[in-house]
Chains A and B, each alone.
Chain A
Amino acid sequence: MPTITSAAADAAETVNAVNENLAQLSNWFMYSAIAIYTLAFFAFCAEWVFGGRSRVAQQSAALDEVPVEVPAQAAAPVAPAATLAAAFGSAEPAAGAAGGGSVALAERPVVVVRDAGHDGDAADDGGDVTGGDERSDRFGRIAVSLTVLAFLLHAGTLLARGFAVKRAPWGNMYEFSASVALMVVAAFLILLTRRPVRWLGIFVLLPVITTLGVAVTVLYTDTQQLVPALHSYWLWIHVSTAIVSFGALHIGALASILYLMKDSYQKRMRAEDPKRRPWDTVMERIPTPASLDKTAYRVNALIFPLWTFAVVAGAVWAENAWGRYWGWDPKETWSFITWVAYAAYLHARATGGWKGRNAAYLSLLAFACFLFNYYGVNMFINGLHSYSGV
């Protein structure tokens, strides 16, 4: 008698089991994705290296680009040829107006945009990595293609895992890290369709490869089902929005870091006899500080409401699971800290005296809080939010 009931229980419980083939496939996808991201990274490196050949021309350009008072991008659109189309980098037919004196120009009064500081056109400053070098440009395009390929494999990893366990693939730190890295790349690719940000690729791939590396070595866990506390659609809403937020905020943080570096670089160049640093060849080719700062702000501001929503969804879930929506569990506390830090950043941007470098430091501080909330709290601080198998 007991054997029968036990066998029945066995049968009932294997329904939940994992499809091992798919799980295996998922792992192979992951290794291929990492390999191809790495290749893409080298291709981006090649883009920078070959683009650096015409260094002399760039150095003088870099010095030109350091006006004392007016941000460089503010002056450009004032030139008569700065039609709207040109200012926005769009390939609209009206751009033909640049032909000057043509009938089209006469018929279409064009808007002169002069205060780029408030109009945000600066964000279209795409830097100049290739320096007009054809080989460099080819490598750049190869790098983007490889990134897209790796992105597809990377997405395949998570899809296969999801199908293997028949749930969303965000159940443990390994899966969460892989998803966040996917969102970093997604944010970059989306940005790439709208703005000339290929120069950012090399910087984006660094955290992506690192995150995936840590995920497969330190955080790896086999496919598995979830503990009952994690069965809640609110949890899925919470986790998915947190993943998108975390992924996109990587881009904001990168932009802030690059802003600080470029800003220092420009200050150095303004000195009488500027000292040169080895990484200046990178610095002189990335966009202006104003443009980087704006990119950081846009990403952070765009994501802040989503991240707020993610925290709220977490609170709703906590209410369902534990009967209280906010209990100052370490994870909750650090979410609060992160949220307040980003709010401080947004305030800083709106306040005199805190703009510029100070705001960028705040942006990085806020991102560091996010990182700590993920790695630090999950791995070193015990709370209710323990993930199954790490």
Chain B
Amino acid sequence: MSIDINADKQAADAGMSTAPQPDKYDAGQSALGARGWLRWMWRQLTSMRVALILLLLLSLAAIPSSLIPQRSVSPFKVSEYFRNNPGKAEFYDKLQLFDVFSSWWFAAIYILLFVSLVGCIVPRAWAHSKALRTKPPAAPRNMERLPAYATWETDADAADVLAAARVQLKKRRFRLAPSTDSLAGEKGYMRETGNIVFHIALIGVLLAFLVGKLFMGQGGKILVEGSPEGFANSFTQYDDFQSGALFDEKEMEAFGFKLKKLDQTFERLGTQKGAPRDFEATVEYWQGVDGKPKTGKIKVNEPLQIGGTKVFLLGTGYALDITVKDSKGKVAYQGPVVFLPQDSNRTSTGVIKVPDVSRGVQQIGFDGIFAPTVSLDPNKGWFSTFPSLDSPALILTAYHGSLGIDTGVPQSVFRLNTKAMEQYKKDDGQPWAQVLRPGETEVLPDGSSITLDGVRPWANFQISKEPGKEVALYSVIAAITGLVLSLFVRRRRMWVRATAGPDGRTVVEVAGLTRTEGGGLGQEVQALVDDLRASAPVASSDGPASGAAPKSAEAEGAAKSVAADKKDED
């Protein structure tokens, strides 16, 4: 009896999902030899259980990247880490903990997951494409054992009842398979389709991400407002540049731009005083070798797209127009010098290197602090109290000697190497230090002079090209659509049987089956039953049963065993 029920039920829900069956542990694997082992390993790899473990491992493996500085994100912090804990850093480095996302172990997990995904999805897609072409199975013999069931007797003709059922199920857009005394319908194939689309789309996201990382090229460039020399997109023009392994310098697009104007607004009131509110860069850009110049605007969050490249505004600061003359009055240096902000009120630091002083004179280097709204604190020294140019001042000390530029060792333009230099002293032996306001000139003890001609803002642009963004986006859209379908569509089957009963009346049976979690099957079957009543009214109650209650005690037993079956199967 119980075997009978199982077979019956299995036939009824055959092919409703291509989800893999629970993993079976058959004994005697070892007897299978190498090929058997390979097959077994493949089965394991593509099983849900292993996919689950790989998923958990993947998230576990990502954790260190948020606790330990990453080279790809903040190389500076990594070198700092090396300086502070050399021993530990060495050890971490061996484990590739500073490069989690390019480490072999992270790669191993996602490649395995990728293989698992493909190995899982291809057969499922194949099975589903077959299921899409298969008619639902005929009504099981014992329909009352199905999860939702109703039966009643009617005086209507069996053929008419089936015809009405066909109309009703068609209206509900069930796929139908008629047989002599019954009708089978199935609906909700989109669940499986959605699931497969989702998983394939995940592969798409992964591939797009990889392509992006391999072919991307991006770099930064600081431009001072109004500077005549702008930026032209070639490798040498960048302040810094990163690229993927397959990036091709020859493929760089021809364009360029200049910073015409930079507007900045800061909060003047309240606890957030000094917080940036709005930055807007007006640029003149051209595309192609001799393209006509056009005007564009770039804001934070609103990049400018030029061809396939995007230009982002990342940060701003102040540059100082400086003129240095030697003791003979000859201009030794002139130009804007970029100062880097050190705090939210734009207290900035920078250096001025003057290598070309007249022959015979030593080179000069200035070390400076710039404050857009200057203030003097007995403890902190000079600093800025507001990021706008309300009361700008440059505080300078100066050195003479060799800047070390000619040694061939690359130098930071923001740091002065004073190893071979000596600080200028005042007559009283104190270090020379001066406060310069825009327009002012100061003379050094040796007769050279420095003038602060003016202050202009600069903007830091990021120029980046990362192919595959569109593919990633479309894949993600497909993934979400597939996900919604696979989670919310219910796959279900319904059967209607109408047969002549022993008393000459027609016995109608309606049943429904779903493997999907979520309520509503009963309601749906009830709605079908209610609609069928128009064509198959319940026979007046002189008959043996009103239909509501199936042969009670036995049915209860059956129901329990069905429920128990379900549990086992899960």
Contact = CB atoms under 8 A, between A and B. Distances in A.
Contacts of B563: 70-71, 74, 114-117
Given A105-B548, A123-B519, A111 B272 contact: no
Contacts of B314: 322-323
B78 interface: no
A352 B24 CA distance: 11
Contacts of B62: 333, 336-337
A351 B49 contact: yes
B55 A340 contact: yes
B403 to A, nearest CB: 34
A317 B303 CA distance: 11
B44 interface: no
A105 B546 CA distance: 8
Contacts of A350: 19, 48
B480 A312 contact: yes
A69 B517 CA distance: 20
Nearest to A227: B276
Contacts of A105: 546, 548
A337 B59 contact: yes
B517 A120 contact: yes
B101 A328 contact: yes
A162 B89 CA distance: 47
- Residues of A contacting B: mostly: helix
B48 A347 contact: yes
Interface in B64-88: 65-67, 70, 72-73
Contacts of A64: none
B236 interface: no
A16 B267 contact: yes
B14 to A, nearest CB: 16
Contact of A69 (B51, B209, B564): B564
Given A74-B560, A340-B58, A113 B271 contact: no
B519 A119 contact: yes
Report which residue of B270, B278, B462, B537 has the largest number of chain A beta carbons within 10 angstroms of its beta carbon.
B270
B533 A108 contact: yes
A388 interface: yes
Contacts of B521: 113, 118-119
B487 A109 contact: no
B559 interface: yes
A17 interface: yes
Contacts of A188: none
B302 A88 contact: no
A106 B48 contact: no
Nearest to A316: B473
Interface string A210-221: 000000000001
Interface string B6-33: 0000000000000100110000000000
Given A106-B538, A111-B150, A298-B518, A323 B464 contact: yes
A108 B540 CA distance: 11
A305 B484 contact: yes
B374 to A, nearest CB: 14
B310 A109 contact: no
Interface in A84-132: 84, 87-88, 97, 105-121, 123
Q: Is the interface of B mostly helix, strand, loop or mixed?
A: mixed
B526 A84 contact: yes
Interface in B505-538: 508, 510, 512, 514-523, 525-526, 529-530, 533, 537-538
Contact of B559 (A13, A74, A107, A319): A74
Nearest to B310: A323
A294 B517 CA distance: 8
Given A14-B268, A115-B559, A319 B469 contact: yes
Nearest to B552: A80
B562 interface: yes
Interface string A55-81: 000000000000001110011001010
Residue of A83, A119, A227, A388 contacting most chain B CB atoms (<10 Å): A119
Interface string B548-570: 11101001101110111011001
B407 interface: no
B390 interface: yes
Interface stretch (A4-12, A40-48, A255-263, A268-276): A4-12
Contacts of B276: 227-228
Interface string B483-499: 11001000000000000
Interface string A318-351: 0111111111111001101100110110111011
B501 to A, nearest CB: 14
Contacts of B300: 228-229, 231, 321
B479 interface: yes
Interface in A340-373: 340-341, 343-344, 346-348, 350-355, 369
Given A106-B538, A231-B300, 6 more contacts: A323-B466, A337-B59, A341-B56, A353-B49, A355-B570, A369-B59
Closest 9 CB pairs of A and B: A352-B22, A120-B519, A115-B147, A114-B559, A113-B522, A109-B152, A80-B549, A330-B66, A228-B300
Interface of B: 19, 22-23, 48-49, 51-52, 55-56, 58-59, 62-63, 65-67, 70, 72-73, 100-101, 144, 147-152, 209, 218, 265-272, 275-279, 299-303, 310, 312, 314, 388, 390, 462, 464, 466, 469, 472-473, 476, 479-480, 483-484, 487, 508, 510, 512, 514-523, 525-526, 529-530, 533, 537-538, 540-541, 546-550, 552, 555-556, 558-560, 562-564, 566-567, 570
17 contacts: A13-B265, A78-B559, A88-B519, A111-B526, A114-B147, A115-B148, A227-B277, A305-B480, A308-B483, A316-B473, A320-B302, A322-B312, A323-B218, A328-B70, A333-B63, A333-B66, A354-B49
